[in-house]
Structure 1
């Protein structure tokens, strides 16, 4: 069982790591935002009716594969509206809006990125421990171990993040923190979380009561008495309204609602699980360049109906084109790079690439600059549809 000193050391370490990552993410977003196409950002701002600065940072978040444009902008606008409703409105000045977008953007990048990945990894040990116990007959030792593991993860890892979020958001409360961190941890929509949270809170209390019962009453053991006191406090605190939960109670609730990693079926040494691989021990190809993902998506789209395929591939191609443009590659070159890569990877039989390049240039020159990005996506899709799908079925 961790002592309070041990927990404080864990919390301090988590805060220091959070501070470092925030500084890096803020600088990263700030530098990259200067290289974004203003034309592209304005189109996003007009489409989603949001400030240009929020559109720019949302574009980067989407580019990193963290959230969709819609979800990122929804978070920004929700927080803007919350602040306006409590008298902490962000001045409608480009510099102020950009600062707000950068500060909130680093939260999105952190929570939906490294925080969730590390949390999932840390959760495995707890899942293995709890998966091996029988709730109807928990031994004293296992009960203490479960409480210690939950406390370490909730109060040593989650609580510092909750504290930092509340500190960064004026007049926010624990329900606000729950509705930001909860969807990232559970992968649920906010509405789903709202509908389930009260039931899950009762389940969390029920588990704590089972653990408390397994420990019996007060003893001469400081470890057991400390665990009993912590459980009693948490059970009581979880009866509070969501917006007045204590930070430890919210942290334990977040831990409880997190989906636990599951096993991989038969653990027998005589059963081989997964597939053999010669690529770094992975069971899937390495995904590094945008073309790796595009190649995968072309194969995946083949299983879909034509209408679904168009929507699915168009979205994926748009993302690849955005990445290439961000890397400073001209639009026409984006088309030819995608086509050459797919031609090599999929072993397609196509006519002269030079002729295709000339036709692409001619088509791009014939449209307004605002429509060129969508035309590039269309050209790449037409190429895939004609040579990767139709030609294969003939």
Structure 2
């Protein structure tokens, strides 16, 4: 079996010292590769790392191993801030569906693919890497490197491929990344209660990453025979299972990956309700539109009184990207009796800043006002689906924190007069 170090040396020799390497994100980020580069940083000299590393989950900045290393990705967060400012991190602000297609064509020499241990037939599961790995598996001219993870679950419903289809095989015995959901705050519980009023038995629920997933699953727990169709699940989905909210049929939890604690990974490997599919399925707008009663529940940084959403900028600096938000919102809006829900606290910074604002402070808009659905805070629900501009402002002000409502109404009146 070739070592990771030997592979990197071989790639550098084959590319004249400028290899372009796909490095997976998610729970199976290859620690073995990071360890080698940490010990031998010259192997990163001139290399370009390509990936979809997730904020708050993947903390390795691959550009940090050498000042001549660069990276390309679809999210921007603190670990890459320095290299972004230096021009060594190229941000591609793509919908997740487009990011999957981008991986099929972006110049690339090699790709590390996390897989489970092989079964008796010699097949491995793409498992927790199902979201993006299939886009790489189709590339005949890219050197595919299987990273066998001993603790990777092997779900019954997930793509399997022969281990022999990889050019190289290495083993990474580092544990999978784990992430425990914090307890829900009283504020989040109140938001979940309001979101629950927009759902019903038999709904299919999608949820974004971070605390909004907990809010979505807590809302789903008010109902029965719920299905999940989303890009990533956390322990919150397992809590919804244990609460009896999720339907019993196989495949009712459709996702691309999971990030949580060992009980979630164990359940993903044995419970037939877990169904792992690539981004071409999880984020496909036509697939989503065909699901009746699809509720897309996502978060954001701020919403303005026109119904526009910023989910990427804080204090004038980009901290995230659009991700799958646009795909899910559009799919839910086309779904029969579907609904798009933006769930967020009414305030930030300890209550000193309103998340409901007159105009967005961000230089870009994540969702336009034409894509507005429902906005939910701990103070209630604002239905913007068919609201005119004055109704939008009125309904959003009504769910802002009480201390900010008068100022918002006054500023809206001034702005409205100038429209």
Class of the TM-score when normalised by the shorter of the 2 chains: under 0.3
Higher strand share: 2
Q: What TM-score does the superposition give when structure 2 sets the normalisation length? A: 0.25
Higher helix share: 1
Q: What TM-score does the superposition give when structure 1 sets the normalisation length? A: 0.26
